[in-house]
Amino acid sequence: PPKAENGSPSEIILDEFDDLTALSNSINDDSTVSITVVGASGDLAKKKIFPALFALYYEDCLPKHFTIFGYARSKMTDAELRNMVSKTLTCRIDKRENCSEKMEEFLKRCFYHSGQYDSEEHFIDLDKKLKQHEGSRVSNRLFYLSIPPNIFLDVVKCASKSASSVNGWTRVIVEKPFGRDSESSAALTRGLKQYLVEDQIFRIDHYLGKELVENLSVLRFSNLVFEPLWSRQYIRNVQIIFSEDFGTEGRGGYFDGYGIIRDIMQNHLLQILALFAMETPISLEAEDIRNEKVKVLRSMKPLQLEDVVIGQYKSHTKGGTTYPGYTDDKTVPKDSVTPTFAAAALFINNARWDGVPFLMKAGKALHTRRTEIRVQFRHVPGNLYKGSFGTDLDRATNELVIRVQPDEAIYLKINNKIPGLGMRLDRSNLNLHYAARYSKEIPDAYERLLLDAIEGERRLFIRSDELDAAWSLFTPLLKEFEEKRIAPELYPYGSRGPVGAHYLAAKYNVRWG
Ligand code: NDP
Ligand code: BG6
């Protein structure tokens, strides 16, 4: 395998860097970073990776010397790549500003190399081109695998043999899916480790790059009012909810082989759960945080069939418009039983969380788009005011809502007296609404993650043992679903999902928020 990276993980202490420019300067002026986007002709590259790289460039976060190469089989000239990329660049930092000059400068640093994914010869050609740009500087190389997973290993093999750096670091960002069960994930990890050491592998879960997910630890560990309440003693249940108001449009082919549990729950929602529930890490170093996350995952009981409800959206006509069902997609088999919705109850068998249901819900083609963490607190013992809420005592409990997206917010539902001479109580929100509080646009998750990968900061990337633990929780259940071909409950496109999710919650005395 190629050389491991020199030195220890980044020694940057993040809170010392409110100015991001300083972060980029931590890469030496004598070195250069070459970023190769493998699969540059694809959807993710256009939609997310190039725009994120531009945003970093715009904010002066990229090192002084950098080059971006697109690599794919499609034939394209540099000019054609630039033209393709330019169509998706936006001035997200400040929509009123004209970024065209910066865009021009950025595009001049973008190049393209066409090649096969399994050809060492083509990667040798890429290496030659990279060297021309790097000159005599120390070369650091980042490969972003924005390609289907069946070709990950071909690329890693060729890139590591023929295009890795000789005097700097070589890192590879790998996109999900990381396998489809414990066995295939372990095989992928083994395959990657034939050519790379763990420190070179940056497994991306873009939810970890979302602002409010990153803020979870800050909220918890830097506010005295939350951490003491963060346990079974005060928390009744935790809900982690993901919903999209559109179907699998355009990605049905990929999706049918995976389903919502693999697409969203096993990774994005489970990562949120682990961060939410972990013990206080020794420090903010990546290994300390990831050690705590693994402990949570290992303390969990694998999912049981009776604690999971699955659904699939069907066609629905509303206001004269017909929305297609999942199996109407031509790339999806007509008799597919792949779930596009799932709700699950999970439990963490440790002293802090024993008996607390963590409910997850994830679905496509629902009535709204949102990702939220909802923390429902217990009833106030001997509540003096319980009479003031009528019979619905659940309404009297506090709830903390962390709205990850859209319209980021953190709000706490509290009880309050309605002003006036009588004694009537009301629920109000103590609300941190990001758009009102902060004028700056929130960065896209990919910006943060790309910057971290360049900086060698691994905190927000998934370590292989975390991945193994995550798959161990879901693999038996997924196998059972597939072996028994359990039919999902159908729900209309644009609805709130299958009613079974409510029965599941009710089983644990939970009402979905
Ligand atoms: P695409 O299907 O668009 O593939 C990317 C590129 O890979 C294509 O442009 C094509 O380039 C090449 N390619 C596609 N299929 C094959 C094949 N069968 N054999 C060889 N090459 C192929 O993928 P996306 O851009 O959508 O996604 C890239 C990765 O990111 C995937 O792993 C995906 O699961 C993951 N991902 C994607 C998300 C998204 O929103 N799109 C979200 C989260 C993860 P060419 O023909 O020019 O070589
Ligand atoms: C991806 C899933 O990982 O996340 C998609 O594969 C999903 O199915 C997407 O649409 C959601 O990401 P975001 O950032 O738009 O919420």
How far does CA 470 lie from the centroid of its chain?
14
pLDDT at 392: 65
Q: Which residue is closest in CA terms to ligand 2's atom 9?
A: 264
The residue with greater pLDDT, 385 or 376, is 376
Cα-to-centroid distance, 495 and ligand 2 (Å): 19
Task: Report residue 27's pLDDT band, with 50, 70 and 90 as the boundaries.
Answer: low
Q: Atom of ligand 1 at shortest distance to CA of 39?
A: 6
Can 268 be counted among the known catalytic residues?
Answer: yes
Reduced to 3 states, what is the DSSP secondary structure of residue 464? helix
The model's pLDDT over 405-444, given as tens digits with 9 standing for 90+, comes to 999 999 999 999 999 998 888 889 999 999 999 988 899 9
pLDDT at 289: 97
pLDDT at 90: 83
pLDDT at 92: 73
Cα-to-centroid distance, 508 and ligand 2 (Å): 28
Q: Is the CB of 372 under 6 A from ligand 2?
A: no
Cα-to-centroid distance, 39 and ligand 1 (Å): 6
| Pair 164, 2: CB distance under 8 Å | yes
The pLDDT mean for the chain works out to: 91
Residues 6+ apart with CB under 8 A from 274: 293, 294, 296, 297, 466
d(CA 135, CA 77): 22
Q: Which residue is closest in CA terms to ligand 2's atom 13?
A: 207
Q: Which of 436, 470, 374, 462 is nearest to 192 (CA)?
A: 462
pTM (2 decimals)? 0.92
Flag whether pLDDT at 11 surpasses 70. no
For ligand 1, residues with CB inside 6 Å are: 39, 41-45, 72-74, 117, 146-149, 151, 175-177, 254
Cα-to-centroid distance, 50 and ligand 1 (Å): 14
Which amino acid is it at 330?
A: K
Q: Atom of ligand 2 at shortest distance to CA of 242?
A: 16
Cα-to-centroid distance, 263 and ligand 2 (Å): 8
What is the average per-residue pLDDT within 118-135? 96
pLDDT at 385: 82
Flag whether pLDDT at 23 surpasses 80. no
Which amino acid is it at 290?
A: R
Task: Report residue 389's pLDDT band, with 50, 70 and 90 as the boundaries.
Answer: low
Task: Report residue 390's pLDDT band, with 50, 70 and 90 as the boundaries.
Answer: low
Task: State the maximum Cα–Cα separation within the chain, in Å, rounded to a whole number.
Answer: 83
d(CA 338, CA 341): 9
Tokens standing for residue 106: 């950025």
Q: Is the CB of 457 under 6 A from ligand 2?
A: no
The model's pLDDT over 320-340, given as tens digits with 9 standing for 90+, comes to 999 999 999 999 999 999 999
Cα-to-centroid distance, 364 and ligand 2 (Å): 10
What is the average per-residue pLDDT within 465-485? 97
Catalytic pick among 122, 268, 379, 502:
268
Q: Which residue is closest in CA terms to ligand 2's atom 5?
A: 263
- Least confident span in 254-258, 349-353, 373-377: 254-258
Please report which ligand is nearest the Cα atom of 148.
1
Q: Is the CB of 263 under 6 A from ligand 2?
A: yes
Q: For residue 48, what is the DSSP state?
A: I
d(CA 78, CA 363): 40
Task: Report residue 34's pLDDT band, with 50, 70 and 90 as the boundaries.
Answer: very high
Flag whether pLDDT at 247 surpasses 80. yes
Reduced to 3 states, what is the DSSP secondary structure of residue 118? coil
Q: Atom of ligand 2 at shortest distance to CA of 244?
A: 10
The 3 state secondary structure assigned to 234-246 is: CEEEEEEEEECCC
Identify any residues that bridge with 203 across adjacent strands, giving them in sequence order.
Answer: 174, 462
Flag whether pLDDT at 261 surpasses 60. yes
What is the average per-residue pLDDT within 1-30? 43
Reduced to 3 states, what is the DSSP secondary structure of residue 171? strand
Please report which ligand is nearest the Cα atom of 248.
2
Cα-to-centroid distance, 342 and ligand 1 (Å): 25
Tokens standing for residue 60: 């002066």
Task: Report residue 117's pLDDT band, with 50, 70 and 90 as the boundaries.
Answer: very high
pLDDT at 384: 81
Q: Atom of ligand 2 at shortest distance to CA of 267?
A: 3
Q: Which of 325, 332, 318, 204 is nearest to 271 (CA)?
A: 204
Residue at token pair 């319209």: 407
Residue at token pair 């169509």: 87
| Pair 41, 70: CB distance under 8 Å | yes
Q: Which residue is closest in CA terms to ligand 1's atom 20?
A: 151
Q: Atom of ligand 1 at shortest distance to CA of 145?
A: 29
Q: Which residue is closest in CA terms to ligand 1's atom 32?
A: 148
Task: Report residue 18's pLDDT band, with 50, 70 and 90 as the boundaries.
Answer: very low
Confirm whether the ipTM is greater than 0.95. yes
Q: Which of 293, 256, 301, 251 is nearest to 276 (CA)?
A: 293
Residue at token pair 């017909």: 322
> At 122, which helix (H) or strand (E)?
helix 120-134
